[in-house]
Amino acid sequence: MTLPVQTRPAEGAGRRALLLAFAAVVMTLLLPLAGLVMSIFALVASIRAIKALRSVTKPVGIAVSGIILSAIALLICLSVTILQFYFSKELATYTECRRGAGTVTSQNECVDQLERTMEKRLGLQPGEIQFPFAP
C-alpha cells in the first residue's frame, strides 16, 4: 500500500515566499555572499508560490511582493559581492593596516590609505572619496 504524496497548501505559499525574501534581505546585510544564495532561493520560492496560488485562484499580491523584495536583495548582493572582489587587494591591505594600528591616529591613516588606493583604482582625483565613518 502506498501513501499519497503530501503537498503543502497553496494558501501559505505567498507568506512563505515573503518571509524568505525578508530573510534574504537580512542575510544580504549580514553576509552578502550568503544573501546571494538566500535571495536566489527566495526568488524561486516566490515564483513557485505564484504558480501555486494561481492554481487555486487565490490572490498573488504577497508572492509578487516576495519576488520584488528578493530581486532587490539579489541586486544588492551582486553589487556588494562584485565590489568586494574588485577591491579585494585594497581591502586586504586595509585589514592588515588596521591590525597593526594601535592608536586612533594610525587607524585614521589606514582609512586615508584605503581611500587613496580606491581612488587610484577607480581613476579619481585625490580627495574625491571620503568615508563618513571607518569601514
> Who contacts 27 (Cβ-Cβ below 8 Å, separation ≥6)?
34, 35, 38, 39, 73
**Percent of the chain whose predicted confidence (pLDDT) is above 70:** 92
Q: Which residue has the cell 569601514?
A: 135
Distance between CA atoms of residues 129 and 68, nearest Å? 32
Distance between CA atoms of residues 14 and 19, nearest Å? 9
Longest dimension (CA), the chain: 76
Question: Terminal CA-to-CA distance of the chain, rounded, Å?
Answer: 62
Question: Does the pLDDT value for residue 39 go beyond 90?
Answer: yes
pLDDT for 41-76, tens place per residue? 999 999 999 998 888 888 888 889 999 999 999 999
pTM of the predicted structure, to 2 decimals: 0.76
> Model confidence at 26, in pLDDT bands (50, 70, 90)?
very high
- Which DSSP state fits 103? S
